[in-house]
Amino acid sequence: MNTPLTRVDRLATAIGLKRGQLWVKRDDLTGLTAGGNKARKLEYLVAEALEQRADVLVTTGAAQSNHVRATAAAARTVGLDCVAVLSTLGAQHEPEGNLVLDDLFDVSVVWTGPAEREQTLAETAAALAGAGRSPYAIPLGGTNALGARGYVHAAEEVAAVLPDAVVACAVGTGGTAAGLIVGLGDHDRVLGIDVAAVPGLDERIPDVIAGCAAAMELPAPRGDWHPDTRYSHIPYGQPFDAVADAIRITAKTTGLVLDPVYTGRAMAGLIERARAGELPDAPIVFLHSGGLPALFTARYRDWFSLPAAL
């Protein structure tokens, strides 16, 4: 897939960059229902599942997981079932956002706690195998060396148009940034904003990068893993003003809508860096990785109101 690369001059000048410097990579247009970055990872993961003659995809995520929704769409596209291990801190699971789409795709849900996701995923896959099914387990966010391949190719798409670009993206489970780093060959050419989705990225993602580069017979990227952690102290998905402001300024200057968990937080970090003069004098490509359904959940309802007519 090759998604559009769109120049956004009005947003650039609004946040202190030069005309022609800021671009958006439209990976919200990758397909699979509401689009997003997971489609690139799933292209490889689902292909392996089919090679292994799996009949059900099993994966995990938070209650409003974009990855789970995309995995379910991919499963139904190729005729597989989908089981999702979803985590929540509370007892209520309101039918909103991605949960509505999960229901439409007839996902079978296993509820667990955030700390138990990986264990419950393994146990669920084992139970399915014991019942005679052929499960293919996909890790949180689709993040492993195979899934990261999708973003090696995204990096190649960017470099074909803007050879010297720096790519800014949200870092959730880290697989998107990992693939971009491998594809661009340099850690410093990827500005990843950590959205506090999972702990332990510093231990896991360098191995994903090394494994992806080795599997694709590419050189090890220059530099070291160093995401921007300016918002890591703010809990995952928690609303805060900088994110709301980033979503609004992007919408008003480009007509593009970001989500409150990933791309909104990443754009907030990019805007802070731009206004502080911390970005290189090079083309900046913001990766729009989708996630729109979360915007329509009760958690963010207080952000929005219709202005009075003039």
Please check whether residue 142 is in contact with residue 170, taking contact to mean a CB–CB distance below 8 angstroms. Answer: no
Of 117, 98, 80, 114, the closest CA to residue 38 belongs to: 98
Tokens 């890790």 correspond to 139
Q: How far apart are CA 136 and CA 310, in angstroms?
A: 56
- What is the Cα 259 distance to its own chain's centre? 11
Which one of 65, 87, 232, 305 is the catalytic residue? 65
Angle between helices 149-161 and 201-215 (to 10 degrees): 70
If 0-12 CB within 10 Å is exposed, 13-18 middle and 19+ buried, where does residue 29 land? middle
Helix intervals (H) in 90-231: 98-104, 117-130, 149-161, 175-184, 201-215
Q: How far apart are CA 16 and CA 60, in angstroms?
A: 39
Catalytic site residue 65?
Answer: yes
Q: Which two tokens stand for residue 178?
A: 């990992």
Of 298, 216, 210, the closest CA to residue 260 belongs to: 298
What residues are annotated to the active site? 65
